[in-house]
Structure formats: structure tokens, C-alpha cells
Amino acid sequence: MGNGNYTPLFNLDSFDRKPRFTNGFFQRDVLSVDQFSKDDLDYIFARADEMQAMSRKWGTCDLLKGYTLACVFYEPSTRTSSSFIAAMERLGGKVIPITEGIQYSSVSKGESLIDSMITLEQYCDVIVLRHPEIGSSSTAAKYVKVPIINAGDGAGEHPTQALLDLYTIKSELGAIDGLRISMAGDLRYGRTVHSLTKLLTKYDVSLRYVSPDTLRLPLELMNTLIDKKMDVREFSRVEEVIENTDVLYVTRIQKERFTDLAQYDEVKGYFNIDAELMQKAKEKMIVMHPLPRVGEIAYAIDKDPRAAYFRQVQNGLYIRMALLAAVLGQA
């Protein structure tokens, strides 16, 4: 004791944290779908296919052993938070979950987003962040060195949801080009719609938007589609588009985005995707939903093989496994 002759606890040369792959994703923030090229999408989708095969055969692996994810959610989440946690753990990594208990963190004491992110950076290798303010993930990324993955910034974007949505379309229908895709619901505030729309501009598709007048797609985004000479039209009822639709992407009317609840009461219950409506749909088409649903799709539709929304949920696991491995240089 005290003579300084200690046996080392660790063989620090046995663990190499160097990236295994130099594919442009290592240490890269995932903030917006705008940063993805078609080649990037193809790469992530191919890696997601591998993650799916591995999960079905082995369940887990050690690809991210030694890495830690901080999962930080300032807004409620079921699928996004749990799938990121499951993704990291299936790949052998560890998770610091700050999700449902955000009110018990130092945020409740008035700590700023930036200070919280810089603090968590000391403990982890990647941060997944959901925050109610548009641009919050981009702001955080300016102050921390570890990759930030945007898990939803208010009514802004939800890039990983858009990736899994596009992956689902390709997996279910075999291709994306040539499809007619109809989006119905809250198009004004729906960040999943905004992100998916941006990704779809990279493909040869026809876009149909269905909503009450107060929830139409933001004008800036519609103008982008027009400038890109996309085949795009707007409708007020799903009945007007269902017969020729290959993908029906439904979203809920988001009560939490309304500052005037009287306006919400005017549009709640506006959509009802039921068996009678689905009789008019193609035999080969799919119904998608980012979930949660609040009555816009009848439970009876769950048994319809065209109902893809729970397969869509599962695809979220594989896409997020691929993204985590990629930004940490292991895929």
C-alpha cells in the first residue's frame, strides 16, 4: 500500500474506438432530411436490412459495446424513445434515458437546453433529442461535439421518422418511383408529413394532400414542391383520392399544437378510415400512420393486410439501429 506499484486495472489497447467505416456518417449530426442524398438513403436502407436480419437471427450483438446513448425527450413519446433505446441495447450499447422523467431533471430548476446538452455530452457518445421548439436540435448541435439526432423539434422536422416511413414504402411495395402517395390529416403542424414530403422530392412520385382548410400543408413547403415541378394536388376528403392511391399516409389531428381549442374542436374527428372506405382502395396498396392514432383509423382495419402501420413501427427499430451504428462509425 502506498508504494505506487499498482497493477493496471485496464488494458487500454484492447478496445479500439476508431471508426470501422468511413462512409460520411461518422460523427455526423442527423438534424434534417435535407442532408440526405439518394445514395445516403440507399446506404442506410441496406444497413437497416442487415439489422433486421441480425435481429431476427440473433436478437442482439456487440457492435456498439462500449458506447453510450443519451435519450432526451422534452415531449412525450412511446415509439421513438423506446425504439432508440431498444436499438442501442440490441447493438450492445448502454442508454441514459431521460424521457418520461424530464420533469425530475434539472430542467425543472430552469436549466437551459444548451447546459443540459453540454452536461450530457460528458457521459455519452451520441444524443437523441426531442424538444418542442423548432430548430432546437440544430441549436444543440452547435454547442456539443458528440452527434445529435433530431427526434422531433416541435412542428419542424422528424427526420428518423421520415427515413423509416420511406424504408417502409420501399419494403412493402418494392419501389418508390411511380407511386401515388396521399397524405391525410394535420398537414400544417405534422412534422412527419413535412419531413417525408422533403424526402419524396428526390423521387418520381405523385403527391396528394388531404386536409381541412385550416390544416393545409404550409405554403413554403407547397411552393417548394411546385418549384421542383412535382405532381401535387390538394383535396379536402380522403374519398376523393382513395381509389388511385398506392400509399395512404394518415396522421392524427394534434390537439397539443392548437393555441385555440375551439379550432381543434372544429376539425377533430374529421377523418375516419374504415372498412367501407377501404373497399374502394386498391388491392395492392398500404395504409401508414406514424402513430399514435386517436380515432382516424378504425381498429377493424388492423386486420387488413394493407394496414402497414405496425410493420412501420418495427421498421423504426432497424432504421435507428442503422443510424446509431453509422454515426458512431460502426456501420
pLDDT by residue (tens digit) across 146-161?
Answer: 999 999 998 788 999 9
- Is residue 38 within 8 A of residue 202, CB to CB? The reply is yes
Active site residue 130: yes
Number of Cβ within 10 Å of residue 84's Cβ equals 29
Query: In DSSP terms, which residues pair with 208 in a beta bridge?
Result: 182, 233
Q: What does the pLDDT read at residue 180?
A: 98
In tens digits, the chain (331 residues) has pLDDT values of 556 688 888 888 776 778 888 788 999 999 999 999 999 999 999 999 999 999 999 999 999 999 999 999 988 888 999 999 999 999 999 999 997 655 545 555 567 899 999 999 999 999 999 998 999 999 999 999 999 999 999 878 899 999 999 999 999 999 999 999 999 988 988 889 999 999 999 999 999 999 988 889 999 999 999 999 999 999 999 999 999 999 999 998 765 655 666 665 566 667 889 999 999 999 999 999 999 888 899 999 999 999 999 999 999 999 999 999 999 999 9
Query: Which one is catalytic: 18, 56, 57, 109?
Result: 109
List C-alpha distances in Å: 300 to 13, 182, 274, 318: 57, 21, 7, 27
List C-alpha distances in Å: 135 to 75, 124, 167, 193, 305: 15, 22, 25, 17, 38
Query: In DSSP terms, which residues pair with 153 in a beta bridge?
Result: 131
159-314 homologous superfamily: Aspartate/ornithine carbamoyltransferase (3.40.50.1370)
Query: Which one is catalytic: 47, 130, 191, 320?
Result: 130
Active site residue 80: yes
Active site residue 198: no
Sign of CA dihedral 109, 127, 154, 212: negative
Number of Cβ within 10 Å of residue 205's Cβ equals 19
Question: CB neighbours of 262 closer than 8 A, spacing ≥ 6?
Answer: none
Active site residue 257: no
Active site residue 7: no
Q: What span, in angstroms and rounded, lies between the C-alpha atoms of 191 and 232?
A: 19
21-157+316-327 shares its CATH topology with 159-314? yes
Query: Which one is catalytic: 80, 99, 160, 197?
Result: 80
Angle 186-191-192 from CA coordinates, rounded to 5°: 85
Q: What does the pLDDT read at residue 320?
A: 98
CA gyration radius, the chain: 21
Query: Which one is catalytic: 28, 79, 170, 180?
Result: 79
Can you give the pTM of this predicted structure? 0.91
The ranges assigned to domains in the chain are: 21-157+316-327, 159-314
Q: What span, in angstroms and rounded, lies between the C-alpha atoms of 105 and 51?
A: 33
Q: What span, in angstroms and rounded, lies between the C-alpha atoms of 212 and 80?
A: 27
- Is residue 176 within 8 A of residue 169, CB to CB? The reply is yes
Secondary structure of residue 315 in the 3-state scheme: helix
- Is residue 279 within 8 A of residue 253, CB to CB? The reply is no
Q: What does the pLDDT read at residue 104?
A: 46
- Is residue 192 within 8 A of residue 312, CB to CB? The reply is no
H or E segment to which residue 171 belongs = helix 159-173
- Is residue 171 within 8 A of residue 197, CB to CB? The reply is no
Query: Which one is catalytic: 47, 131, 158, 293?
Result: 158
Secondary structure of residue 22 in the 3-state scheme: coil
Q: What does the pLDDT read at residue 155?
A: 78
- In CATH, the number for domain 21-157+316-327 is 3.40.50.1370
Q: What is the DSSP letter of 173?
A: H
Q: Which amino acid is at 203?
A: Y
If we measure between CA atoms, which residue out of 76, 250, 64 comes closest to residue 151?
76
